Structures are given as structure tokens and as C-alpha cells.
Amino acid sequence: MTLLLQHADYGHLLPAAHSLIEEHADATTAHLIATGAAMEALAKKFGGDTQTWKVAGMLHDLDWDCLDKDYKAHCGDTLDNLLKTIEAPEELLGDIRAHYQAKYGEDYPLDSQLRKCLYCVDELTGFIIAVTLVRPSKKIADVEVKSVKKKLKDKGFAAPVDREQIRACEELLDIELDEFIEITLTAMKGVAQDLGL
């Protein structure tokens, strides 16, 4: 079932999102670009505004490199202050906070299709990057859905990745895991040059 609540449009922030990534992201740059591309593809699948969804994906972990892996501070004041520099609507901060359910779930539930997609795809884009980097070519063009699924079963590979969050696509988005991986992987291949993969 598709859940599309009335949603603010912040696709006009796309140029600003690119600038923020250039200014504030380092290690997470590829992940942010990949998640933006995946969210754009998922918006096409579920009938969302592609640019709005892309912006949410691009900015969801914008604060991470500034926080020195401080999980408690993630999506907090630092992110809020970064988004204020581009006059982002409160809804964007809410959509981003919703992807961090362990901390913000009670205040920012997964109550829109955008939020559900961002929650599920966040872990998957990072995982696909990890799968790519262990291939001999280190090229995402050589990654296939079956290789991603095989690595998902290997709990020792990219161990911090929450597999259940990825598999939640079946319940939250009502799509099979294979299709979810395919949509995400195809979107990431489309921006391979920007990812450096």
C-alpha cells in the first residue's frame, strides 16, 4: 500500500544540497550522493516528488562527518544548524530525523512513503558501496543483485549494517527485497562517476 501524505516540496533546495555536501561531507560524500539517487528512483516508483525525495536522501547524514561518529548527536543540533543555512523547512529536518528511528522514532514516525523509503534505503546504499569496494575492479558496474544478496547473508561482512532495516522494505514498502536492491543498485550505477565507483 502506498502512503503519500501531503508533503512539502523542497526540490528547489537541490543546488543548495550539493553545496552543503561539498562544504561539510568527506567520508560520507559517496553515501549521500548514492542515497539521493536511490531516493529519486524510489520517488518514481512510488509517485513522490523526485527532487524533494532526492534532497532528503542527499542530506540525511550531512552532519555525520562533523560529529566524529557520535551517534547520540546524529541528526541533532548540528544538522539543524546546517539546514538553517539554506532555510530548509522543518519538514525536511523531520523527514531526516525519521530515518534514525532508534533515537527519533517516537517524535518522527515513519508516517509517509518518503520516510519509509529513506529508512530502508539508508543502510542499503552504504552496504552496496561496501560490496563494490571488495570487488577486484572496485566498479559498481560489476555488482549484481545476487552478489548483494549473498553478502547480506554473510553477517561478518559489513557487520554494523542493520540487515533488518534493509529487509523492512518488504513490510514497509510492500516490495520484494530483490526489487528494492535492483532499484537502488540501478540508481547508484547511474551516478557511478560521482561516487568514484
- pLDDT, one tens digit per residue, over 22-40 is 999 999 999 999 999 999 9
- pLDDT, one tens digit per residue, over 116-161 is 999 999 999 999 999 999 999 999 999 999 999 999 999 999 999 9
Of 45 and 7, the one with more pLDDT: 45
> pTM of the full predicted structure?
0.94
- The reported pLDDT for the residue numbered 93 is 94
Distance CA 87, CA 55 (A): 13
- The reported pLDDT for the residue numbered 3 is 45
Residue 157 burial by Cβ neighbours in a 10 Å radius (0-12, 13-18, 19+): middle
Residue 7: pLDDT band with limits 50, 70, 90: low
- pLDDT, one tens digit per residue, over 172-192 is 999 999 999 999 999 999 999
- The reported pLDDT for the residue numbered 2 is 42
HEC states along the chain?
CCCCCCCCCCHHHHHHHHHHHHHHCCCCHHHHHHHHHHHHHHHHHHCCCHHHHHHHHHHCCCCHHHCCCCCCCCCCHHHHHHHHCCCCCHHHHHHHHHCCHHHHCCCCCCCCHHHHHHHHHHHHHHHHHHHHHCCCCCCHHHCCHHHHHHHHHCCCCCCCCCHHHHHCHHHHCCCCHHHHHHHHHHHHHHCHHHHCC
- pLDDT, one tens digit per residue, over 69-97 is 788 999 999 999 999 999 999 999 999 99
